[in-house]
């Protein structure tokens, strides 16, 4: 179950936002259906890259044994 403020992992690329599978975001809102979420993705400095409406198929909870990885943000596709 995914809840507000949970850390989640993107399950697919979101080229429109320059995000890639494996990027980490925070759930900032859970919709009433329990399967749709607003997820915020930020840079290491805390600058918001995107706030995106996603479903359970798009994200998964981050696991305790996982480690974060750093990459340079790709430019968004306009």
Q: What are the pLDDT digits (tens) for 31-69?
A: 999 999 999 999 999 999 999 999 999 999 999 999 999
> In angstroms, how far is CA 17 from the centroid of its own chain?
11
pLDDT at 75: 76
What is the pLDDT at residue 31?
Answer: 97
Assessment of whether the complete model's pTM goes beyond 0.85: yes
Three-state SS at 12? coil
| Distant-in-sequence, close-in-space partners of 7: CB < 8 Å, separation ≥ 6 | 24, 25, 26, 61, 62
Q: pLDDT averaged over the chain?
A: 94
């Amino acid at each position: 179950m995914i809840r507000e403020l949970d850390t989640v992992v993107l399950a697919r690329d979101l080229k429109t936002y320059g995000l890639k599978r494996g990027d980490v975001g925070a759930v900032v809102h859970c919709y009433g259906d329990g399967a749709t979420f607003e997820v915020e993705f930020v840079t290491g400095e805390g600058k918001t890259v995107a706030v995106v409406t996603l479903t359970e198929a798009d994200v998964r909870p981050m696991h305790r044994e996982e480690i974060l990885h750093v990459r340079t943000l790709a430019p968004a596709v306009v």
